[in-house]
């Protein structure tokens, strides 16, 4: 009998598996592909944790896989001794179906091992979990969320004692402990819970967190000075930001705040949203209707776990336009620097951090304001490492960290992207510009005139199914083997293979290190300053492509981005205009 079929039969035979799960499994008995998908492998525990569709099986998110992952975390904490157990684990979740129940299951497993748990009394934004780990001095944190994925998914994010997701050998050790445990025999059942070790976290910490956020205001008077004119439409996309974000906005002075009725209530089915993702214009359709009714120039949307934020603003013709993650990062950088300078509050040793797939406009902005900029691999855990290093050395003043995928972080209280503080800063920035007679779209165009025009194109290829991993690996190897000489007619002058940890200057032939950790990423830079990056997703079965282009004006930058995309399609053997997000 095949191994996947043996695992399937073991689940059906186990007295630990509930009858509903068994009925679900019996229904797929004759579907070999589905059996292989569910039992042919286990979810891989990466540095960010786990993510998959919900359902019965070793490769799905369910009570058993969540409990086994938590068993791995518990065994690692036990290995550090009683002090680590007493420090405890912060537990949180988003609005997804089963999230609260999975969260509770984590508490049951941890307390059965004698590990203290800080458990939120209801769903909270992901950055509150990170902040809670730091505030309560926890050894770790676990957040049940699948971020912006469709409703069929759920996930498990691990945080460590600094409030960041682990980058070193912590995740490897957890994965080893998980692999060494039997999913049924070695995991404590719900009856083993120790209620005395569960500390409920509620409104008191809400106040602490909101005050920490509001302490990060850059120009506190802006919103109050513009309060009569400023109108903000907000949607949490049926997620965890539904309560905290509106309260923060009201506390900084927003008088005219309008929410989207169908999306302000948490709902794991995300009705009307194919993808509850603020990167996609479709997520704003109901918000636009509200904005038109109330004559608002600004719509803010968080993803379901409230660590990302997307924005739409009116252009000169009165139409709503999406502001991309790259554009918003550039806007926030320039705003923070300019507003601090305007108030004579710019620190003597400022620095910012972005990822390698984020627009190079940040480089131009930081250079103009005398701010040191660091580039890191994708993921806020790497941004957090830069901050931790500066804190350990007692140097530098951190002003902003961000990545192109709509995540922003400011302040020392958390070590992950924060949709709460970002929503606050964006609102403050919109008021600051409105006092100058400008919308955020006007502000973007002003940046283009000042720093040059930068644009981007993002694309992805999904490779689902049993052989998805092999296809992704094969395509990346093909790209490594067939190094491009030109992209969009411009010579490729730098090729970086972060997996091989090499950076090659094609003009001189010189090869050096990348200076960053090993990662399955390919990076090509051209003579005219365009960049193309290929990176398999860490959470979904796809390869993501980033095209970062520039030009003298928006038209030429857009033409460069399109030409780079066509070159990439040629490299992949695809027809032009077929590679889309």
**Rg for the chain (alpha carbons), in Å?**
24
Whether residue 31 lies inside any domain: the answer is no
Question: Are both 63 and 181 inside the same structural domain?
Answer: yes
Find, among 363, 354, 443, 447, the residue nearest to 398 by Cα.
354
> What is the percentage of the chain residues whose pLDDT exceeds 70?
99
> What is the percentage of the chain residues whose pLDDT exceeds 90?
92
Domain boundary, last residue among 167, 185, 201? 201
Question: Are both 213 and 143 inside the same structural domain?
Answer: no
CATH number at residue 96: 3.40.120.10
The pLDDT assigned to 524 comes to: 97
272 band by pLDDT with thresholds 50, 70 and 90 = very high
Long-range contacts at 503-506 (CB < 8 A, ≥ 24 apart): none
Strands 397-403 and 350-355, bridge-based pairing? parallel
Question: Are both 242 and 197 inside the same structural domain?
Answer: no
Find, among 264, 208, 270, the residue nearest to 241 by Cα.
264
Question: Are both 394 and 511 inside the same structural domain?
Answer: no
Least confident of 158-172, 223-237, 397-411: 158-172
Whether residue 20 lies inside any domain: the answer is no
Question: Are both 427 and 469 inside the same structural domain?
Answer: no
Whether residue 257 lies inside any domain: the answer is yes
Q: Are 142 and 368 in contact (CB under 8 A)?
A: no
Whether residue 128 lies inside any domain: the answer is yes
User: Is 578 marked active-site?
Assistant: no
Whether residue 68 lies inside any domain: the answer is yes
In angstroms, the CA 470 to CA 454 distance is 35
CATH number at residue 500: 3.30.310.50
533 band by pLDDT with thresholds 50, 70 and 90 = very high
Question: Are both 186 and 288 inside the same structural domain?
Answer: no
Q: Catalytic one among 147, 296, 423, 519?
A: 147
Q: Are 162 and 134 in contact (CB under 8 A)?
A: yes
The pLDDT assigned to 252 comes to: 98
Q: Are 237 and 263 in contact (CB under 8 A)?
A: yes
Whether residue 376 lies inside any domain: the answer is yes
Question: Are both 457 and 445 inside the same structural domain?
Answer: no
Q: Domain tally for the chain?
A: 3
**First CA to last CA distance, the chain:** 41
Domain boundary, last residue among 180, 201, 222? 201
421 band by pLDDT with thresholds 50, 70 and 90 = very high
CA distances from 285 to 249, 324, 486, 512 (A): 22, 16, 40, 48
3-state secondary structure string, 85-142?
HHHCEEEEECCCCCHHHHHHHHHHHHHHCCCCEEEECCCCCHHHHHHHHHHHCCCEEE
Question: Are both 366 and 402 inside the same structural domain?
Answer: yes
Domain boundary, last residue among 144, 179, 201? 201
Whether residue 346 lies inside any domain: the answer is yes
Domain containing 517 equals 453-572
The pLDDT assigned to 1 comes to: 72
Question: Are both 51 and 160 inside the same structural domain?
Answer: yes
Question: Are both 146 and 219 inside the same structural domain?
Answer: no
| Structure confidence by residue, pLDDT tens digits, 245-271 | 999 999 999 999 999 999 999 999 999
Question: Are both 291 and 316 inside the same structural domain?
Answer: yes
Whether residue 10 lies inside any domain: the answer is no
In the numeric block, the tokens 């636009």 are attached to 288
| Structure confidence by residue, pLDDT tens digits, 454-480 | 999 888 998 877 788 889 999 999 999
Question: Are both 143 and 240 inside the same structural domain?
Answer: no
The pLDDT assigned to 47 comes to: 64
């Amino acid at each position: 009998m095949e191994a996947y079929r043996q695992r399937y039969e073991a689940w059906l035979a186990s007295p630990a598996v509930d009858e509903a799960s068994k009925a679900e499994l019996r229904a797929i008995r004759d579907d070999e592909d589905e059996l292989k998908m569910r039992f042919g492998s286990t979810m891989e525990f990466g540095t960010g944790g786990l993510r998959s569709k919900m359902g019965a099986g070793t490769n799905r998110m369910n009570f058993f896989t969540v409990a086994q992952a938590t068993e791995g975390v518990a065994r690692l904490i036990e290995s550090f001794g009683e002090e680590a157990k007493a420090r405890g684990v912060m537990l949180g979740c988003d609005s997804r179906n089963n999230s609260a129940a999975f969260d509770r299951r984590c508490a049951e497993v941890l307390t059965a091992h004698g590990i203290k748990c800080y458990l939120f009394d209801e769903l909270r934004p992901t950055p509150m979990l990170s902040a809670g780990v730091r505030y309560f001095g926890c050894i770790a944190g676990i957040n049940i969320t699948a971020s912006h994925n469709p409703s069929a998914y759920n996930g498990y994010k691990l945080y460590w004692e600094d409030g960041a997701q682990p980058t070193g050998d912590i995740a490897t050790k957890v994965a080893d402990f998980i692999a060494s445990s039997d999913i049924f025999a070695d995991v404590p059942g719900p009856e083993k819970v120790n209620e005395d070790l569960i500390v409920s976290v509620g409104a008191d910490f809400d106040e602490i967190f909101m005050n920490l956020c509001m302490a990060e205001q850059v120009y506190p008077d802006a919103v109050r000075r513009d309060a009569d004119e400023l109108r903000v439409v907000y949607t949490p996309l049926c997620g965890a930001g539904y309560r905290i974000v509106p309260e923060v906005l009201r506390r900084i002075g927003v008088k005219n705040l309008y929410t989207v009725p169908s999306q302000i209530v948490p709902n794991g089915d995300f009705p009307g949203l194919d993808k509850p993702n603020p990167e996609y214009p479709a997520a704003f359709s109901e918000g636009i209707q509200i904005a038109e009714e109330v004559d608002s120039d600004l719509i803010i949307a968080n993803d379901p776990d409230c660590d990302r934020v997307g924005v739409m603003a009116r252009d000169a013709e009165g139409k709503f336009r999406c502001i991309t993650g790259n554009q918003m990062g550039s806007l926030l950088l320039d705003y923070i620097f300019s507003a601090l300078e305007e108030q004579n509050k710019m620190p003597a040793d400022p620095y910012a951090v972005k990822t390698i797939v984020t627009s190079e406009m940040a480089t131009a902005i930081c250079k103009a304001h005398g701010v040191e900029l660091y580039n890191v691999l994708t993921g806020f855990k790497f941004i957090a490492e830069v901050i931790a290093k500066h804190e350990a050395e007692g140097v530098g003043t951190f002003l902003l960290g961000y990545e192109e995928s709509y995540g922003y972080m400011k302040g020392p209280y958390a070590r992950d992207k924060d949709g709460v503080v970002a929503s606050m800063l964006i609102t403050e920035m919109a008021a600051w510009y409105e006092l100058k007679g400008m919308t955020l779209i006007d502000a973007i165009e002003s940046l283009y005139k000042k720093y040059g025009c930068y644009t981007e194109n993002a694309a992805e290829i999904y490779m689902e199914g049993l052989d998805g991993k092999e296809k992704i690996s094969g395509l990346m190897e093909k790209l490594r083997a067939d190094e491009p000489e030109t992209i969009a007619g411009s010579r490729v002058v730098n090729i970086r293979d972060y997996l091989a940890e090499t950076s090659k200057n094609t003009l001189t032939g010189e090869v050096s290190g990348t200076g960053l950790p090993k990662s399955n990423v390919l990076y090509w830079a051209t003579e005219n300053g365009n960049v193309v990056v290929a990176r398999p997703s860490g959470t979904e079965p796809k390869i993501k492509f980033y095209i970062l282009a520039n030009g003298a004006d928006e038209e030429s930058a857009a033409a460069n981005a399109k030409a780079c995309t066509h070159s990439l399609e040629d490299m992949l053997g695809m027809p032009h205009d077929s590679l889309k997000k």
